[in-house]
Amino acid sequence: MECCLLTVCAVSAALLFVLFYWLVPAVQRNAMWALLWHDFITERLHDTLTRSTRPQRMLKAVQKKATKGDPESVISAIDYFCKHSEWAMNVGDEKGSILDSVVTEVNPSTVLELGTYCGYSTVRIARLLSPGTKFITLEFNPANVTIARQIIAYAGLQDKVTVVEGSSGDLIPQMKERFGITTFDFIFLDHWKDRYLPDIKLFEECGLLRKGSVLLADNVICPGAPEYLEYVRNSPRYESRYYPAHLEYTKVEDGLEKSVFLE
């Protein structure tokens, strides 16, 4: 019995050694390990232990730490949650500052976000918009829509944002008729990465881009959107610029691609 106990302790110690001296540094710097660790292992572990979902826990963190009606405090509460409690695929604070600068530079009157998730980037964008700006954000997952609406409302921005549930492929062609949008000044892509290229082509086909329309795409390196990058960087219809950064709340290489529509 004592021998078995010693063996268990030795094995446990070895596993902990591997975890802290090999896996954790790998998670911090390797894209595959980071996504596997954060988006598969730890999320499911927390879900099981708490009998809740990550978006639900994020909402609770906002309600506990943020000031109602204060967008900045909501952003700070989510950043704190993601740095100290649980990682989540928001655009994050580092890339979020790049997003802020592009939105401020464009000063758009019509905005579309693809991929609301829990509303973090929605809050970042909405707080910078001028009165009267039309801002539509699309989210495929109905559970995420429920959480996002609550977080956006907690930030006091519900009147500045229209949250729409559904797929981008179905909703993009409905923009003109359903929402009265002629063209978008600014589009933020942060949904399924394999939808980036089909959706930008859909914008073109539907005539939703004007000369000077700005598209900003997140996670173009991690998880990556190589076909999208190849398209916007080689098409004469776009002028593109890459903003190097890191995957939200990690040291993994990532970045945003800003593409200006030229015709």
- Which residues are tagged catalytic? 190, 193, 218-219, 248
Token pair, residue 237, equals 């219809």
Give the strand pairing for 253-261 and 209-217. antiparallel
d(CA 2, CA 8): 10
Q: Contact, 103 vs 186, CB < 8 A?
A: yes
* Alpha carbon distance 18, 2 (integer Å): 24
Among all chains, which residue has been given the structure tokens 């596993």? 15
Nearest Cα to 135, choosing from 164, 173, 156, 92?
164
Tokens 């080689």 locate to 234
Question: Taking CA 227 as the corner, what is the angle to CA 221 and CA 229, rounded to the nearest 5 degrees?
Answer: 55
Torsion on CA atoms 41, 58, 103, 171, rounded to nearest 10: 80
CA distance readout (Å), 208 to 89, 93, 132, 189, 215: 27, 29, 19, 15, 12
Helix (H) or strand (E) holding 58: helix 54-65
